[in-house]
Structure 1
Amino acid sequence: MPKRNNSSSTPPKEKTLAEARPSSSVILLSPENQVLLLHRVKSSSAFPSAHVFPGGNISEFHDGTVPGPSDLKRHEDSLTYRLGAIRETFEESGILLAREGGKDGKPLNVPVTQRDSARKEIYENKVCFVEWLRSVGGLADIENLLPFTRWITPLGQSRRFTTQMYLYMLPLSTSNDPAISAARSEAIIPTPDGGVEITAARFDDASTWLKKQETGEIVLFPPQCFLLHIISQFLVGPPSGSPSASELVEHYHAQREKLRSFLTTVPTTSDPKAAKHPTAQIAWADKVISPTTLGLRKSDRKSILGLDKPGPELKGSNRGGDWERVVLTRFVKGVAKEVEVRSREEVLEEERQAEKEARETKL
């Protein structure tokens, strides 16, 4: 068979860059510092079968506008992203992150029937979310949303998003909010889309969610697994013994303060080699992560995903993610399997050793 003449062959097509649609999501902490995850159905348009944080696409009707696809500010925290995060959390879980009167008011509590009716009307764009809040004497609690990374879908995917992640801590005092109470017992939640996307909501410890993923009980995609891995270092569950109510509050408050400090502290690593990388000087509140495939692990053919690049839209900017860690996973029919968060240096050293052993075996 004659060799192909590369000089006359058609050049390979470049991967198309689908527009990254703006979206936002919330890592919501209960009064006991447990994390809310929603279970998506198998036929879901995004993250099928997975457990995810509440969130979704920005709506110009409800939230406002974001800069265009060519504007770098499209990938920055803003009022629009914050309103979208609060609205989507309300639509998907029924939990309303709002306050009475203003930012210093107490949490807004709306009766269940009125709440469910509003969720449906907001979902169907019959009433603007901000206007509805105003009509019931409330204001979206944007002040207490803490930015915690942005994720941009890698190049080559047909559906891409630029997703601003936030952390929100519900008050430490016991809440009588029915939506919060329901999520503490994994309620089958009535959703305004009729259950097309989401079936259930539940609060649980970050470490418990990770263990369920490791045993195959639930599906977590790389962003959710990675962020749960990070916060599980701080949210370590209740204290031992039989603490008093005030001791419990102090215990959970101390966890939250350490996590708050972590979000804004640089460098973001104590590892000497990782600290030399420019991304170590980017606080977790500002990191932008667009996973890139570094290769396949020889032992099990899992993809090794680097997390330091900010995505094609921000190439050449001073934005970036996390150089210190990588995510290992395999995708089966679009579903992430066996996701692991590991040290980048450890994984790459294992690969170097595997290559060395393979060469020695051939000799």
Structure 2
Amino acid sequence: MYFSKAKICLISVAGAFFTFFLFAAMTHACTGVRLVGKDGTAVFGRTQEWGKFDLNAKIAVIARGTSFQGRTPEGNTGLQWDAEYGFAGTLLMDRVFCTGLNEKGLAAGFFYHDGFAGYADFDVKKADQSMAPGDVLSFILSSFSTLEEVRDGLTQEHVVAVVDPDLHKTVPMHLMVTEPGGKCMVIEFKDGQVTFFDNPVGVIANNPTFDWHLTNLRNYGFLSQKPFKAEKWGDLEITPLAAGSGLLGLPGDFTSPSRFVRATVFSQTSRPTDGGLDTVQEVFRILDSFQLPASQSEGTDAGNADKGKSLPSGTQYTVVTDTKNLTIYYHTMFNRRIRKIDLKTIDFSKGPLRSIPLDENRKQDIRDITGKLAVK
């Protein structure tokens, strides 16, 4: 399965500073949503925010049999495993997978969890069972096909605190994993232990903990798709001023508690979908409500932001995965056209890591249809 002796990682995740810096960059204000269509198709999508520099995201493919080695505070001395399953996903700066879908339809993504993630202390005697936070997503997608397998597999390993010498911290994260049947869960790390939460609403954001977010939803039980009923206040009749009055009070800021509430409400009030592309389009519609300007994204006040390279958006891309039809869709800050990767047509049996940029041409492709209106 995922244990293998004396293997050399084909995907380098050495370079602790770069990897951890990337972790901090790529997930601080992201939002994830899962919808299920009428035919049972589960679709998981997420936004990818960062305003400091261009993440140069790519779509990359990992073949079955690819060898990995986990990192520890002593270097690449951790858990060794070979990929049981091939997978594809978004690869940032040629280093770290952020979101992906494997050939069995298991989808996963990780999200920043600052101040709330607490990893195990490193025990050199357990080095061969240990990995850094940056190894977890690849471990899940390459090793498991169901949520139960993920629970069993992660419980046997140790996610350890690998301190970055430049950031002077272990970068925190938590994950959301979705299986083709529609079930999903959130994985968090606290006091050195891994914790699993069933996800009844199919939503994830950032801080604080997932159970806190679920409790916070109780503050918004008054929200409704229906307009509020007319009321008499003395002799004055109070009626809705405009459409959408049932959602008055929905938080509109971009903090993670507010995004979690908003994403949950949008998901619970979404239109019924048939499945497949129909559900994918509805997930895009919801996630497009969370697009941030670059000036409002994390990292824009940092001193070493790209000089003279203004990002067109703080949401660098949005990716949506169809777990039944094994398809990845995405659009980017440069080009809103939706692109597609069909995993069913990819040969996962062999080959090194293959990747292509999310944008071959970083320019919005606009079709001019003025000619169709010309007088003939």
TM-score of the superposed pair, with normalisation by structure 2? 0.28
More helix by share: 1
